[in-house]
Homo-oligomer: A and B are copies of this chain.
Amino acid sequence: MKDTDAHVTGADVPAAGAQGPLYRQIKDAMLSALAMGEWKQGDALPPEKVLASRFGVAIGTLRKAIDDMVADGILTRQQGRGTFVAAHKRNSHFFRYFRLQRKDGQKAYPTNALLTFRRVRASAAARDALQLGPDEMVFEFSNLLSLHGDVVLVDSVVVPDALFRGLTEAQLKARPSTLYNFYQDAFEVNVIATEERLSVAHADLQHAVWLDVAPGFAVLEVHRIAYSYHQRPVEWRISRINTTHYEYIGPHTGE
């Protein structure tokens, strides 16, 4: 049977209103399964053959959907072991979201110190970045990051209360791993994509103290919005970086 509409007998694909390529629909269905928590970070997905029959498609089609999600950094594959939901561990993937290195090319994992923490009504800018309604609450906190013992960066983070219900200062101080890994573990919030905009700014009095520089010192300012499944914004962050000894690694297009 070479019929393209073979999936009408599929168990999981929305047969009605199907649009676009099959593998795209499969990907969306898997994204929804992930968003609903069917598979959590670090979990192994069912084998490809099982998924293929569940969605009523050939294994090649199922693989194309997974290929996409692997390219997006949502899943990881390990030959002989299985396919897993990507976790924000301190592995090579870490540098997908942490793009600073020493100017001699040396990479390192940062150490953290929580500077501030509060729960407030979202500012207009925060509502805009996080697509929130009026009067919605957010958590705001800031972090000091050091590399090789040098203070390098201050993060100012805003996350919606609705997704991080009950977040406490103690939790943030005690988190064992990366921030995004903490979001996954404690709140099932999975960051799978970010947008960043960079410009030069000057340290205010507070940042000058934190970064141990003179007020007005020129810093690299990175505005980031982080997204979860289906482009849902889950974090807004402004990083202010002292680039005296460290540099930001831009996109490398191509191979």
Contacts and interface: CB of A to CB of B under 8 A. Distances in A.
A219 interface: yes
Contact of A247 (B192, B199, B246): B199
Given A74-B254, A195-B252, A197-B250, 8 more contacts: A192-B254, A194-B253, A197-B247, A198-B220, A199-B247, A199-B248, A200-B219, A250-B251
A202 interface: yes
A105 to B, nearest CB: 9
Contacts of A96: 253
Interface of A: 71-74, 96-97, 99, 103, 192-200, 202, 218-220, 222, 224, 227, 231, 243, 246-255
Contact of A255 (B192, B199, B253): B192
A99 B196 CA distance: 11
A247 B97 CA distance: 19
Contacts of A253: 73, 96-97, 193-194
The 8 A-B pairs at the shortest CB distance, nearest first, are namely A193-B254, A196-B250, A218-B218, A251-B251, A199-B243, A198-B248, A199-B247, A197-B247
Contacts of A199: 103, 220, 243, 246-248
A48 to B, nearest CB: 17
A227, A246, A252 pick with most chain B CB within 10 angstroms: A252
A72, A74, A248 pick with most chain B CB within 10 angstroms: A248
A96, A251, A254 pick with most chain B CB within 10 angstroms: A254
Nearest to A254: B193
A72 B255 contact: yes
Nearest to A196: B250
Contacts of A198: 198, 220, 243, 247-250
A254 B72 contact: yes
A32 to B, nearest CB: 14
A138 B139 CA distance: 54
Given A199-B103, A200-B243, A194 B255 contact: no
Nearest to A250: B196
A195 B200 CA distance: 20
